[in-house]
Structure 1
Amino acid sequence: MSDQFNASAGILSLLPPADRTAQVSEALAAFIEAARLKTGDRLPPERHLMSALGVGRSTIREAIRRYQALGVIDSRKGSGNYLLKPISKRTVHMPLSLDTENLRDVLLQTLQVRRGLECEAGMVAARMRKADDLLEIEAKLEVMEKAHHTRGASGPEDLAFHLAIYDATHNPLFRQILEQMRETFEQFWSSPFERVDFARRSFPFHRTLFDAIAAGDPESARVETLKILEIVEEDIKEMSR
């Protein structure tokens, strides 16, 4: 394996400044294709990728995490990262995005997808959640609540809460779909219209959504999710005028 990793020096090279995580993802896909790695093969160690690509460990791990969510890479503690599916720059997933300069249209169109996806995720999580899942969701909720009370906005923390619900479904497709729409989905948590109060009125319903999931009540989880997204839609329309 060491000879294979040493040989990668001619394939992997320093990256120019830009979106580092996206570049690392592309570099990994190109390397996997050029090295002809197969299902079950181990990827170069993180320290090797850091040195070869000139990026930090957090960037390498974020790229690996995205591939994990897509079911492409399996990370084994103490062993390394292994390829679950052969990929290349041509076959690796292409993120879905909306090519428009109108933020209002982007958000409303993405909201239609969010409504179907998150209502279903909440219902499935209410049926499938385990004790550890509830601890994780509530921990993310408490961090979100603290951020909300401290600075009046909780975008990243809000996203982490919803991701914990996705994970509680124990269906990896929810995460995979999100990864493919990450760019458009994340616009909901990045102060759209430069308004830190965007969708702030939905804050209390995150706690009631958690309560519904904890109670194992799929219908209530659906209703509470709809309450959140209805406020989001109202604010999109109001703040984009």
Structure 2
Amino acid sequence: MMSDQFETMMKSTLTPLPPADRGRQVTDSLADYIQQSALVAGDRLPAERELMAALGVGRSTIREVIRQFQALGVMETRKGSGTYLLKPITSATIHMPLSVNMGSLRDALLQTLEVRRGIECEACMAAARRRTKEDLRHISEALDEMERVHLEKGTAGKEDLVFHLAIYDATHNPLFRQLLEQMREAFESFWDTPFDRPDFARRSFPYHRTLFNAIVAQDTEAARRETIKILDIVEEDIKEMSK
């Protein structure tokens, strides 16, 4: 149960919302609450049921908003513990949601890939320039796990994502992770099993190791080149498997 002091604070900053555009309103109200409550990085947010009661919305709306903040890199949910603030936010925090026409999954994927190519190449080059020993340790651990799962199962979608996120973190520019994570979020269900083909982009597997080697060597041009090889294979598979 909430303490009387916490309940009073919640009521003063969070009030039930009218029915229109609930997601946007929850986002704004939660940002206002964080600002007015002076929460800082590391502070725990109210539990889902407390937010539901205070704002008068359902669990699915709360979870969707939390996922959006997670994609922006400002919150994280720890299993069995709750949701925590990673960075202070206010109502003036810039949010850049993606809008993609899903009339044709193939075309939407190719459009997204075209944008990713530029951003991801820059991210891998930045990681090669700025990586620390700790960054290399995280990337190496993610790559080893990806290779283990790939050799065991023939595919490693989630492990592949962890590997690339470790590279984005090594740029020490949070916008890379936020932008690229949002682009992947837009196609989350697709990336679980692309075109129902577990062999999707399997040919790109060896280039993840050569990309890592380029980052270790701080060879920015090699990092760009290996990234393009991976994305070229993804593009070829999208075109081939969507026929």
C-alpha spacing 1:82/1:211, structure 2 compared with 1 (3 Å) = closer
- 1:116 aligns with one of 115, 118, 122: 118
Tell me whether 96-105 or 2-11 shows the greater mean CA deviation. 2-11
Q: Deviations over 1:80-107 (max 9, x none)?
A: 748633228xx76252031223111011
Q: Deviations over 1:208-233 (max 9, x none)?
A: 00001001100111111111111111
Instruction: Please say if 1:85 is aligned against 2:89.
Output: yes
Q: TM-score scaled to structure 2, two decimals?
A: 0.75
Structure 1 equivalent of residue 38 of structure 2: 41
Matched residue pairs, number? 219
CA offset at residue 46 of structure 1? 3.6
Structure 1 equivalent of residue 137 of structure 2: 135
The answer as to whether partners of 2:117 and 2:228 remain within 8 angstroms in 1 is yes
Opposite residue 163 of structure 1, the aligned amino acid is: L
Tell me whether 203-212 or 173-182 shows the greater mean CA deviation. 173-182
Tell me whether 153-162 or 181-190 shows the greater mean CA deviation. 181-190
Q: TM-score scaled to structure 1, two decimals?
A: 0.75
Task: Report matched runs for 1:147-226 at 5 Å.
Answer: 147-184=149-186, 186=188, 189-226=191-228
CA offset at residue 68 of structure 1? 6.5
Helix, strand or coil at the partner of 1:85: coil
Q: Unaligned regions of 5+ residues in structure 1, if any? A: 14-21
Helix, strand or coil at the partner of 1:181: helix
Helix, strand or coil at the partner of 2:35: coil
C-alpha spacing 1:199/1:187, structure 2 compared with 1 (3 Å) = farther
Opposite residue 42 of structure 1, the aligned amino acid is: L
C-alpha spacing 1:237/1:71, structure 2 compared with 1 (3 Å) = closer
Sequence identity percentage: 52
CA offset at residue 187 of structure 1? 5.9
C-alpha spacing 1:157/1:234, structure 2 compared with 1 (3 Å) = same
Opposite residue 206 of structure 1, the aligned amino acid is: H
RMSD of aligned C-alpha atoms? 3.6
